[in-house]
Amino acid sequence: MTPDDLASALFELVVPLAEDRRPGAGAEIRREDVVLERPRNRDHGDWASNVAMRIAKKIGANPRDIAAELATGLAAVPGVATAEVAGPGFLNVRLDAAASGALAKTIVDAGPAYGHNDSLAGQSINIEFVSANPTGPLHIGHTRWAALGDSIARVLRASGATIASEYYINDAGSQMDTFGASILAAIKGEPTPEGGYPGAYIGELGRQVLETEPGVADLPDDEALPIAREIAYRLQLAEIEKSLSSFNVHFDVWFSERELHAKNAETGKSAIDEAVERLREQGHVFDADDAVWVRTTEFGDDKDRVIRRGNSIYTYFAADAAYYLSKSDRGFAHKIYLLGADHHGYVHRLKALAGAAGDDPNVDIEVLIGQLVSINGAKLSKRAGNIIELDDLQAWIGTDALRYSLGRYPADSPLTLDPEQLRKRSNDNPVFYVQYAHARTHSVGRNAAVAGVDRSAFAPELLDHETEAALLGALQEFPRIVAQAAQLREPHRVARYLEEVAGLYHRWYDNCRVIPLGDEPIGDVHRSRLWLNDATGQVLRNGLDLLGVSAPERM
């Protein structure tokens, strides 16, 4: 019996009870009112619910009386061993061993799909993260959102949402000209221009530009600049994509800012031109002081924003507006922006933009701010000179350790990682602890095969040891943890859950043998334990995948 099965059974008892106490009340009770939680003290049972207290006021009844009636009904539900009333009206429920143990086969049969749920079914979400300028390598400031953004997208997908993970390429504007000038200076052996990009990587890009277009060095600067800029831009963008791919981060969409500035051949207007017109149609654009403004103060912004200056040049806000509208045009009702710690000022601006576009700023847009991350002892990149590159961090710490550690904490908390700790092969290293538990499930499986233990029989009622009850109780929680992580945009909940499962598995391993000792014959208890072993491995594997971390079979 899964938590959903138990909650549904309880819901079917709650509705007629409410209707009997107050006609019409049954229709007011929702399935969401029936919440199950695992008691911290396992002596209190497998599951607890406060539904009696939640509905007592609605139906004008004493919560303990409601709980007592529900307990009587639950006791007759197949798979429920006991149902007791505690405190002011809590329900404590214990499942019988067979109902609890049956989950092991359910998990193995479901395989990679176990944990997936439909809590966000029907939602269409665009999630944008990283979006670093294509003018240099990715660095430590991008790592946190790369890991968290990708993991958030994964738990959203696992919860039934339609997702597009998106990288916004800032490939228009003055920074691209500065980048091109820096590359050209390197090609010609000249000093980096004032305000230009430093670092050995500029020289490397310059050499690659020359290999691609040998004659560029002989051209006048005004002709050479756009050529050098374009080739270097493509090379740098490819390197960014390669770095992210090695970090197990893959984007569904790479959206170029240039698309927003390009003129439509038929209308002669750009997406930015059309965005300003659409905002004007919404009634939120006005002209003042020889400029065009958006009245964003109507939606909580601290001041109205200029969208086009008096010289007819659009501001960055204009591109933001066109980009936001393009997401809506592509069918994404909900937009999530993941921004760095220095972008707090964008929150009200983007929400105001959503309001000006006719959306609900409190529903249709979400802006998450990530705090800084630092690495003890990290050295600046030799190539870039003034940053710590993502590629260097991966080579030093390892992709799995880096991704797991970044995904293990809430985004809004500052984070300092200890590389030496993360490189240790010990239980003090959380990623090793979880991955070792997974590897151990495969070791048990291999040894079981050699000993002749297989999954040819399954007797869930034999999984009655206290460590088995605790482990099964945790495995039942996985779909709820995934749904919660998706709803709250907090993948760290998956990481902490996996650590709990790993601990419970290690304790089970110490107490319950899959392989018989000595001359003991192989029995159904051993075969059933192999199902539980493999189910645990599947949950650990599925959870690690949601964090973009590998699940090794040997360590």
Residue 43 pLDDT more than 80? no
Assign 380 a pLDDT band (cuts: 50, 70, 90).
low
Per-residue pLDDT tens over the stretch 148-201: 999 999 999 999 999 999 999 999 989 999 999 999 999 999 999 999 998 899
Choose among 143, 170, 322, 163: nearest CA to 246. 143
Q: Which long-range contacts (CB under 8 A, 24 or more apart) does 418-424 make?
A: 418/376, 419/375, 419/376, 419/377, 419/378, 420/376, 420/377, 422/397, 422/398, 423/397, 423/398
Give the whole-number percent of the chain exceeding pLDDT 70: 99
Residues 76 and 59 in one domain: yes
CA–CA distance from 402 to each of 365, 436, 449, 547, 554 (Å)?
A: 29, 17, 34, 11, 20
Please report whether residue 553 resides in a domain: no
Residues 156 and 305 in one domain: yes
Among 25-34, 261-270, 287-296, 507-516, the range scoring the smallest mean pLDDT is: 25-34
pLDDT for res 515: 96
What number is the average pLDDT over the span 282-305? 92
Of 246, 275, 301, the one marking the end of a domain is 246
Per-residue pLDDT tens over the stretch 235-251: 999 999 999 999 999 99
Residues 203 and 279 in one domain: no
What number is the average pLDDT over the span 479-487? 96
- CATH number, domain of 289, equals 3.40.50.620
Residues 444 and 526 in one domain: yes
Assign 352 a pLDDT band (cuts: 50, 70, 90).
very high
pLDDT for res 314: 93
Residues 146 and 189 in one domain: no
Give the separation between CA 295 and CA 304, rounded to whole angstroms.
5
Please report whether residue 384 resides in a domain: no
Residue 210 pLDDT more than 70? yes
pLDDT for res 231: 98
Q: Are 422 and 398 in contact (CB under 8 A)?
A: yes
Please report whether residue 235 resides in a domain: yes
Of 246, 264, 289, the one marking the end of a domain is 246
> How many helices and strands in the chain, by DSSP H and E?
20, 14
Choose among 430, 413, 480, 488: nearest CA to 152. 488
Residue 20 pLDDT more than 80? yes
Structural domain containing residue 203 = 174-246
Torsion, Cα 400 401 404 406, to 10 degrees, reads -120
Please report whether residue 554 resides in a domain: no
Residues 256 and 351 in one domain: yes
What number is the average pLDDT over the span 531-548? 98
Residues 450 and 303 in one domain: no
- CATH number, domain of 519, equals 1.10.730.10
- CATH number, domain of 75, equals 3.30.1360.70
pLDDT for res 432: 96
Give residue 472's identity as a one-letter amino acid code.
L
Q: Give first-to-last CA distance, the chain, whole Å.
A: 34
Residues 204 and 263 in one domain: no
Q: Cβ neighbours of residue 322 under 8 Å, at least 6 residues apart?
A: 260, 270, 271, 272, 274, 275
Q: What is the 3-state secondary structure (H, E, C) of 34-91?
A: CCEECCCCHHHCCEEECHHHHHHHHHCCCHHHHHHHHHHHHHCCCCEEEEEEECCCEE
Of 356, 373, 390, the one marking the end of a domain is 373
Please report whether residue 257 resides in a domain: yes
Give the separation between CA 228 and CA 183, rounded to whole angstroms.
7
Joined tokens for residue 335: 């937009």
Residues 131 and 270 in one domain: yes
Joined tokens for residue 119: 């809590």
pLDDT for res 39: 84
Torsion, Cα 403 407 412 418, to 10 degrees, reads -60
- On the 0-12 / 13-18 / 19+ scale of CB atoms within 10 A, 150 is buried
Among 41-55, 452-466, 474-488, the range scoring the smallest mean pLDDT is: 41-55
Quickly list DSSP for 279-291: HHHTT-EEEETTE
Give residue 199's identity as a one-letter amino acid code.
G
Residue 455 pLDDT more than 90? yes
Residues 307 and 159 in one domain: yes
Please report whether residue 382 resides in a domain: no
Residues 527 and 477 in one domain: yes
Q: Which residue has the tokens 């847009």?
A: 365
Number of domains in the chain: 4
Please report whether residue 392 resides in a domain: no
Residues 149 and 215 in one domain: no
pLDDT for res 420: 87
Please report whether residue 283 resides in a domain: yes
